[in-house]
A and B are shown apart, each in its own frame.
Chain A
């Protein structure tokens, strides 16, 4: 029978069908980090002799608060570190770490067609590789650390064909935000999204990760993109991948991982995005997003308006800012930093601006290109890599009422600090807004004066 890409991966990992529509699903890779893994590891330590099913399948990253900012976070980081050492688990730690959803793919730990879990909802980022990758809670992750499997209810499958060339300053982030508005915040709950179409084919891996990263903001279990030559050349030579013929053998397998032509979906959506423009969120969830050159909608929710201190009909471009943040697992890879630096080169920011690379490897690559100079010449803060401001943990927590434009993925009340207000946008929109001190697109900026030759 014809199968979708997701079904092929699912079928290959079903260990046992279970009552209801549930299945015991084998997990190829578990990503552990300091906030949600230790409570599960502690249970295994206390009740199951500290025995893990297969430590070689686990990758540990201290990422959310790294380096530690206080005694509590230091103890969490230390627990993960000693646990990883004790079990011989590969660990990316202070100096060599970053956000797990950036570190794991850039080191090559995600195989197309594999099942990857992590106790973090943005694990869907890795669906960009054609992996079935999704967030789980601590207990479910602990079950996988203990027995190699999770129990899952079979999701619905939605094919989303996206066609047309991204133009008019629109980026993968704008596409990601657009998809959340189309599917609705929660609209894809219980679904796996299979993205395809000419737009998707043309995206780089960085861009595909940005798109898949926000699938969970529509409630989706995850998104998946079939592996192609873009995927394969990204993975070739990465440290966790074999070299030479062994890699090419895997790649040959991956090339076969795509939906059969007559596969059936629970839903089938088609979008043309050639007219897509830069998007900015105005409200308190990512679904409350509109084109940057429009206004706060007339039918906006009262509670979102009051939290954000906005009124229907206000032009987004008129909204003044207190801070700008470029970072997070959505948009802090090298290509994002390059794009933001292109906007900031030769300009000055007018509000406090924080640039937090997605990983230490990204940071070093950016510095080799001199991007750190561009950001710092523009007056921005260039930090080490961590989740940081994205979830209000460190490096740029917002004051109550402060308004920040951010390249991250969530604008929930209090997400970046109690009472803080967040507008989500692409890195280039964040950079342009940082210069003008209000929500702005790059095409509004005055040209940079050419430097006078010495």
Chain B
């Protein structure tokens, strides 16, 4: 994906938005990853209304511990299928954060003190290569991205990457075998 983009903000002024709220379990009803976009935030009170009020949003801004709870990748697929490219929050749950990287949605950790201002910003500009976010209202924040995860975020292809590792992994397994001593 392109490393630079500008997008409208979906202000989710809440902490602990769990993945049940993003896609309730009863709506995880496909055999593949398609078709979950319409369910985004269906389990969050006021969620669908919030989305309707920001039809062009591509960047979520939220409070701490975003994506906690269930490991369901459906939460990230729903974001992708609705055109979202980044989530900005002071902290993420581990599995959501991993899922986001692997699906090209940037999980961007920003100091909690800055979130108020970002929630107010109508649009934000992101440069994932430079790891920098700016707004017309003068926000200018640099953020950290893990180098390997940044690679998957920008290039995609996680399964292809893993497939290419099969040989070395089999070699390792042959060498190490199943013998482990502590």
Q: How many residues of A contact B (CB 8 A)?
A: 70
Using A147-B163, A410-B69 as known contacts, say yes or no to A189 and B94 having CB atoms under 8 A apart: yes
Closest to A112 in B: B182
B34 to chain A, nearest CB (A): 9
- B94 contacts A22, CB within 8 Å? no
> In the bound complex, do residue A415 and residue B98 qualify as a contact, i.e. CB atoms below 8 Å apart?
no
Do the beta carbons of B69 and A26 come within 8 Å of each other?
A: no
**B65 is an interface residue with CB less than 8 A from chain A:** yes
Identify the closest chain A residue to B175 (Cβ).
A15
Given contact pairs A20-B148, A147-B163, A253 touches B180 in the complex (Cβ within 8 A)? yes
A43-58: CB near B (< 8 Å → 1, else 0) gives 1100110000100000
- CB–CB A137/B99 < 8 A: yes
The CA-CA distance from A384 to B104 in the complex, in Å, is 40
Please give, as numbers and ranges, the residues of chain B lying within 8 Å of A140 by CB-CB distance.
98-99, 102
Bitwise interface map of A from 352 to 386 toward B, beta carbon under 8 Å scored 1, else 0: 00000000000000000000000000000000000
| A338 interface hit (Cβ, 8 Å) | no
Q: Does A314 contact B (CB under 8 A)?
A: no
Mark the stretch among A73-81, A99-107, A163-171, A317-325 that contacts chain B.
A73-81
How near does chain A come to B152, taking the closest CB pair, in angstroms? 9
Contact indicator A139/B20 (Cβ below 8 Å): no
Interface size on B, residues (CB 8 A): 55
A35–B73 Cα distance when bound, in Å, is 10
Q: Which residues of the partner chain B approach A133 to less than 8 Å between Cβ atoms? A: none
The answer to whether the Cβ of A296 comes within 8 Å of any Cβ in the partner chain is: no
Given A26-B173, A257-B182, is A189 in contact with B159 using a C-beta cutoff of 8 Å? Answer: no
Query: Whole-angstrom distance between the alpha carbons of A75 and B151 in the complex?
Result: 35
Q: Is the CB of B146 within 8 A of A22?
A: yes
Specify which chain B residues have a CB less than 8 angstroms from the CB of A445 in the assembled complex.
none
A64/B103 in contact, CB under 8 A: no
Given contacts A186-B68, A391-B20, A412-B21, contact A143 B33 (CB under 8 A): no
From the candidates A53, A136, A149, name the one contacting B71 in the complex (CB within 8 A). Answer: A136
A79 to B32, CA, bound (A): 10
Q: Which residues of B contact A (CB under 8 A)?
A: 14, 16, 18, 20-21, 24-26, 28-33, 43-45, 64-65, 68-73, 76, 91-95, 98-99, 102-103, 146-149, 151, 158-159, 162-163, 165-166, 168-170, 172-173, 176, 180-182
Q: What residues make up the interface of A, taking CB atoms closer than 8 Å to B?
A: 8, 12, 15-16, 18-22, 24, 26, 35-36, 38-39, 42-44, 47-48, 53, 64, 70, 72-73, 75-76, 79, 113, 119-121, 135-140, 142-143, 146-149, 151, 153, 185-186, 189-190, 219, 221, 253, 256-258, 284-285, 303, 307, 391-393, 397, 410, 412-415, 418
